[in-house]
Amino acid sequence: MPAATPIGRPRDTNLSAVLNATICMASTGCKSRALPKDFPPYPTVPGHFYGWSCWGRFASITLIPVMAAREKAGREAVRPPASSTAER
């Protein structure tokens, strides 16, 4: 997860709870406004989600375990081919 910036207001949001809320949204298909109250407030979750998506955090979260599993299986740990929607 991204480190807190040294300038500005101190972070008061638990990033682990934001990630759990994002996983809950992805697995259940619920909207961020409909998340249970034990997750961070509504604007916080989509704000972090879109930022992480733009920075490529989710791509790295999924790529690293796939590459490790390929190495464990004795296969070459290569990056998967670019998607068909990528710019050429």
- Measure Cα distances from 4 to 13, 46, 49 in Å: 10, 18, 16
**How confident is the model over 62-74, as pLDDT tens digits?**
787 888 888 888 8
> Residues of 3-34 as b/e, b for ≥16 C-beta within 10 angstroms?
eeeeeeeeeeeeeeebbbbbebbeeeeeebee
Specify the residue for token string 């994002």. Answer: 22
Q: What is the pTM of this model?
A: 0.62
Q: Domain-by-domain residue ranges, the chain?
A: 15-72
User: For the chain (length 88 residues), average pLDDT per consecutive 10?
Assistant: 80 88 84 87 87 79 81 78 49
